[in-house]
Amino acid sequence: MTAKPEVTGFFEPRTWSIQYVVADPQTRKCAIVDPVLDYDERSGATATREADKLLGFIADKGYEVEWILDTHPHADHFSAAQYLKEKTGAPTAIGEKVTAVQKLWKDIYNWPELREDGSQWDKLFADGETFKVGNVPAKVMFSPGHTLASITYVIGDAAFVHDTLFMPDSGTARADFPGGDAATLWKSIQAILALPDETRIFTGHDYQPDGRQPMWESTVVEQKANNIHMARYDTVEQFIAVREARDKTLPMPKLILHALQINTNAGRLPEPEANGRRYLKIPLNALEGAAW
Domains annotated for the chain, with CATH where assigned, are 6-250 (3.60.15.10)
CB atoms inside a 10 Å sphere around CB 154? 21
Strands 200-203 and 158-162: parallel
What's residue 289's pLDDT? 86
Q: What is the CB neighbour count within 10 angstroms for residue 269?
A: 17
Below-70 pLDDT ranges, the chain:
none
The candidate with the shortest Cα–Cα distance to 31, out of 143, 149, 160, 124, is: 160
Please list the alpha-helical segments (H only) found in the chain.
Answer: 49-61, 81-88, 98-109, 182-193, 220-226, 236-248, 256-263
Asked if 231 and 51 count as a contact pair (C-beta separation under 8 A), the reply is no
**Distance (Å, whole) CA 286 – CA 27:** 48
What pLDDT is stored for residue 2 in this prediction? 85
Question: What pTM was computed for the model?
Answer: 0.96
The angle subtended at Cα 279 by Cα 276 and Cα 285, nearest 5°, is 165
Three-state DSSP class for 245? helix
Task: For the chain, give percent helix, strand, coil, nearest 5.
Answer: 25, 25, 50
Q: Which residue blocks in 32-91 are alpha helix, DSSP H?
A: 49-61, 81-88
